[in-house]
Structure 1
Amino acid sequence: MPKRQHQASLDVVIIGAGVVGAACAYYAARTGLRVAVVDRGPVAGGTTGAGEGNLLVSDKGPGPELDLALLSAALWRELARDLPREIEYEAKGGLVVAADEATVKALRSFAEGQRAAGVDAVEVGPGELRELEPHSAPDLAGGFLYPQDAQVQPAQAAARLLSASGARVHLGEEVTALLRGPAGEIRGVRTARRDLLAPAVVNAAGTWGGAVAELAGVTLPVLPRRGFVLVTEPLPRVVRHKVYAADYIADVASGSAALQSSAVVEGTPAGPVLIGATRERVGFDRSLSTEALRRLAGQAAALFPVLAQVRVLRTYHGFRPYLPDHLPAIGPDPRVPGLLHACGHEGAGIGLAPATGLLIAGALTATNPPLDPAPFDPSRF
């Protein structure tokens, strides 16, 4: 049996090489901390690699998550300037559409609350909607344009943030234990190959964040919520914005375990159109759901009739890390000194990653946070 390596002189070990873990590494390293990242798979091998890259404020009502999203939106714009081509940042804007006047009225009320929190929301009528999206269905009643919505290529964003952090990265190494001191404090992590010694460990393991918490003897009720995405053949830019039906907002906020689907349609720089989004709690069942795919295709064609004749080249799916109150767990765990959590973002992890990383870096260095971290306190569970 090969001798286990010991790596000291670290300030923090981050478990998880998805976009949240990468953002934690990036912002922690910017404070001067010595960082290592460990993951049982490749970079972006979990939820990040199965995401669309949504950076949304449009689907969030006033409250802590929207505050986190607005901060992240500003940070993503900074990152796009610092890491321009690699992350494929596209400030395309979001367009939420309504099928009838009653839904337009509900969106109007929702947008009023968002504006008070700092969101730019612009109402558009049916004629303006067709100008913004010429291929959209002609019978839509209107909608709202959200210029702050954007997109990145999630796997590339995670890889670039990790690279820019300068962190030591150990891939293909599952953490089998958290090392503890005599008072139960964190001393690092153990894999089959090495011990990484550090006084702080960040649990950024996404959907598997609950399992990492169990290694420390604590409970964090992270559950997987499965979602599918359709990918079409390459097309001219028939979809200009990130376009979704109003019922997507309700699906995001729902705690139902049943299959829910609401069309989110967007073009990509490479040509294919991405079509999401479904949600269902089925554990880690990776089997294909033809019902989910059928619903997505039908709902997308209802928004953009031109898509009815387009070929779907492939589908993919992943698991969103869901917490019961729909807020991520970010910050120190008071039950285990030196343990911090950065997981449970559900489908918003890519969008919320930079602000999460900034909060974690602040907690690690005992500096004033950029916003109130109390709503994300892991001890609330």
Structure 2
Amino acid sequence: MRGTRIVVLGAGIVGAACARELALAGCAVTVLERGGPAAATTAHGEGNVLVSDKGPGPELELARLSRRLWPEVLDEVAAHRPGAAAAVEWEPKGGIVVATTGEGARELERFAASQRAAGVAAEALDPAALARAEPHLTRDVTAAVAYPEDAQVQPSGAAAALLGDALRAGAVLRTGCDVREAVTRGGRLTGVRTSLGLVEGDAFVDAAGPWAGELSARLGAPVDVRPRRGEVLVTTPMPPTVFHKVYDADYVGAVGSGAGDLQASAVVESTRAGTILLGSSRRRVGFDDRTRPEVLSVIAAKALRLFPSLAGVPVMRAYGGFRPYVPDHLPVIGPDPRLDGLWHAGGHEGAGIGLSAGTARLLRDLMLGGRPDLDPAPFRVDRPAVLGAVEGETR
């Protein structure tokens, strides 16, 4: 398949990761992006590389594959571009999940036990160990579990490193390029008409994140990927205060919920620059990008329950972004059975940063006839949640 012309539609972190894998495999890769690289969903995330929030099943397997691949990928980037690798700000600092009620403790312990059975390192912390790990955390905790495999990156830096590696391997990037319609021949996708003209190829990868549903509809093969909005607060730089990614056990329920109204939970973590990120929220509001003060208030209140000492700390900014939501909460990775030549890599919701490395490797193996590291069947395109929109819900 060396020399195969592959067009990646989207230059967020998933598109960048896919472009890198395919370019390094010898394909002639073109990346089309209607805005700027990593300027949309990727730039509005927290940079999580997590296993702690995923129960046993295919998404956890993809997360574990990605967690194994991330250090390998960064070592490869560093061999040619050490500055780009450093800008990723890889922090394998681990995560701590806490419960603050009796019921929450029981659920967290059950969830952690199921993850251990699936091979995840999940270590119960007693009050003394928790206090040593996070001295500023509230003592009103009923259970705590440490996840040493959790890590963090700077999202835009990570995407830039991956895309830069793809370009070094020969990929071509076209920005300001809006895809408008498909060009087919004999039932096969052979090109796309864009705002910059016709782009032809042997295969096309829809990696448009929350806009994947809209883009796939333009191409004549719609998938049910919708935007789900999330917001984050950012404090001013502080002395070392939060040493892991710390979140309330409610976060797992919010991630897995399909409710359209506000789902919020406490997620608190520091960055290398000293700021503290406070999340998180999930709302299905279409592409309404207005910031809602009442949502930010809920996020702040939940964060303060975990870290009361943050009460007087200034918040210097707030940001929000759209995550690509699929009703069954599984990514969409693989060929489209309705349109030969069209492939999908998306639907990761808020986990796209962490899952990008594994997604790209799986897609590469599927496209080029390699042997995948995990079973691709659960991520297939022709499953009910992907091909059939839920009646009565808006995109």
TM range (shorter): over 0.9
Mapping 1:209-224, distance limit 5 Å: 209-224=212-227
| Structure-1 residue corresponding to 2:179 | 175
Structure 2 alignment gaps of length 5 or more = 78-84, 388-395
1:10 deviates by 5.6
1:126 deviates by 1.6
* Residue in structure 2 matching 1:70, options 64, 71, 76: 64
Mapping 1:54-203, distance limit 5 Å: 54-83=48-77, 84-166=85-167, 167-181=171-185, 183-203=186-206
Worse-superposed segment, 73-82 or 341-350: 73-82
| Structure-1 residue corresponding to 2:247 | 244
| Structure-1 residue corresponding to 2:339 | 336
Structure 1 alignment gaps of length 5 or more = 1-8
2:26 counterpart of 1:26: no
Contact map agreement 2:263 2:281 (CA 8 A) in 1: yes
Distance in 2 separating the partners of 1:117 and 1:198: 40
Q: Which runs of 4+ in 1 moved over 3 A?
A: none
* Residue in structure 2 matching 1:53, options 47, 60, 69: 47
* Residue in structure 2 matching 1:310, options 303, 308, 313: 313
Distance in 1 separating the partners of 2:182 and 2:95: 42
Secondary structure at the aligned position of 2:138 is classed as: coil
Secondary structure at the aligned position of 1:318 is classed as: strand
1:113 deviates by 1.0
2:274 counterpart of 1:280: no
Contact map agreement 2:108 2:143 (CA 8 A) in 1: no
Paired residue total:
372
Q: 2:152 is aligned with what amino acid? A: Q
Distance in 2 separating the partners of 1:215 and 1:31: 29
Q: 2:104 is aligned with what amino acid? A: T
| Structure-2 residue corresponding to 1:254 | 257
Q: Percent identity?
A: 50
In the superposition, the TM-score normalised over structure 1's length comes to 0.95
| Structure-2 residue corresponding to 1:367 | 370
* Residue in structure 2 matching 1:16, options 2, 6, 10: 10
1:159 deviates by 1.1
| Structure-2 residue corresponding to 1:4 | none
1:310 deviates by 0.3
Q: How far does the alpha carbon of each residue in 1:157-213 deviate from its partner, in whole angstroms, 9 at most, with x for none?
A: 1111011012100011111122211x1201122212232211100000000001111
Distance in 1 separating the partners of 2:140 and 2:374: 42
Contact map agreement 2:178 2:196 (CA 8 A) in 1: no
Contact map agreement 2:182 2:220 (CA 8 A) in 1: no
1:215 deviates by 1.9
Q: 2:114 is aligned with what amino acid? A: G
* Residue in structure 2 matching 1:326, options 324, 329, 333: 329
1:98 deviates by 1.1
Distance in 2 separating the partners of 1:238 and 1:257: 34
Secondary structure at the aligned position of 2:214 is classed as: helix
Distance in 2 separating the partners of 1:155 and 1:35: 21
RMSD: 1.1
2:35 counterpart of 1:41: yes
Q: 1:42 is aligned with what amino acid? A: G
Q: 1:126 is aligned with what amino acid? A: P
